[in-house]
Each structure stands twice: as C-alpha cells, then as structure tokens.
Amino acid sequence: MGDERRQKLSEALFAAYDVVARTNDALEPALAEFGLTAVTAHLLWLIDPDAPAPSMRTAAERTHCTPQNVTFMCHQLEAKGLVTRKPSPTDLRQRVIELTPEGRAARDAIVELASTSSPLANIDESDLARIAELLGNAPSRLA
C-alpha cells in the first residue's frame, strides 16, 4: 500500500471513529436515563419493532458479538424490563428477542436523539446516501 493511500485510509478510519465517538457522546443522556451502555443500546436499536423479532444468533451476527455476549446483554436488558426472550415461533430450538413497551420507548428515544444529535444529522440527503453506500459496501471488499 502506497503512502498516500495509507494516509487517506487513516483519515477515513479516524473520521469514521470520530463520528461514532461523537454520536455515543450525544446519546449519553438517553443512555443514562435508561441505564444503558453504548453496546446494549446498539443491541436495543437493532431490534426493529416493525420487523420479526431477531433470533439470538441473528443479534450476535448483527452486533459482531459472540452469542455469549448477546446472552449477557439480553440479561441486562431483561433486568431493566426492556426486552423479553421467547421461543421462536418458527423454530422452537431458537429464542427471539422482543422489545417490551418500555424497550420500545427507550429505543425510540435513542433513535430520535441519534437522528437529531449525531454529526451526520445535518448532512444533506444525497451525501448521507453516499456515505451509507460507501460504508455499507466496505465489508464486502474484505478479502
């Protein structure tokens, strides 16, 4: 890898990290209100209340965590009354994670705060679409 490419890659990685760090900072009031960490909030966020409840395995894949870590996070979220785990309606060997009404309220508050307070919140729609496309395609380029 050439020096110029390495420099550009470093700039891109630091910019991505900075956006994540600043978004986490912006979410701090909601995280504190609901007693969440950034990691447990991420798990809560990925449970779309308008989609089928994800399995524990799916949650592990989406959060890039081990199944054991997802189990630990689910215990924390269950203890706060934000999620429940139930047998999957399609495969009784698996468990799915469902939001409780309190969990939905917490998720809504986190999504709303991220939507208004993230460094990406005020970027115009076309630039935001391009950022999402570039970052969304990056994992597929791994060798």
- Residue 138: per-residue pLDDT: 79
For residue 117, give the H/E element and its range: helix 101-117
What is the CATH T-level fold of the domain 3-141, as seen in this structure?
Arc Repressor Mutant, subunit A (1.10.10)
pLDDT digits (tens, 9 = 90+) for 77-99: 999 999 999 999 888 889 999 99
Per-residue pLDDT band at 142 (split at 50, 70, 90): low
What is the average per-residue pLDDT within 102-111? Answer: 96
pLDDT digits (tens, 9 = 90+) for 18-77: 999 999 999 999 999 999 999 999 999 999 999 999 999 999 999 999 999 999 999 999
CA distance 40 to 58: 15
- Cβ atoms of 118 and 26 closer than 8 Å: yes
Q: Any idea where the domains of the chain sit in the sequence?
A: 3-141
**DSSP-derived 3-state class of residue 23:** helix
